[in-house]
Amino acid sequence: MNATAKTASQLAEDARQVANDAVESTRAYAQNAVNAAGEKVRDLRGSMEPGVEQLANRVQQAVQRGLDSATKTGARAQRQLGQAADVTGRYIADQPVRSVLMAAAAGAAITALIVLASRRRDD
């Protein structure tokens, strides 16, 4: 039954890695957008009025704050996912039979839903 706990831990680690990759990808995309906006502002700066330039700086600062907030939220989500994975792994290690029965019941329920959905489409 230790193999089941190891498999659950591996799945949890895989899920944690996917979440981390998604956060990093989003952060990189947002950072590229901020950089592109900054370059456009610098290109147009020579022809801008001071009021418009101040507005552009404020927008860029707001985008940076949003990016920082998204990073913090992503890190918090990763911590919570890690905690959930740890709790799940411990539960599976402590209750292997119950865990297998719960997984089988969930699989049966999902299979029943898929069968019902496919029958409705055929009708």
- Quick: pLDDT tens for 4-29: 555 767 777 777 788 778 788 888 88
Judge contact between 9 and 92, C-beta under 8 A. no
* Per-residue model confidence (pLDDT) at position 110: 94
- Which amino acid, 73? T
Distance of CA 90 to the CA centre of its chain: 23
- Quick: pLDDT tens for 70-120: 888 888 888 888 888 888 888 888 988 998 999 999 999 999 999 998 888
DSSP E strands, the chain: none
pTM of the model: 0.43
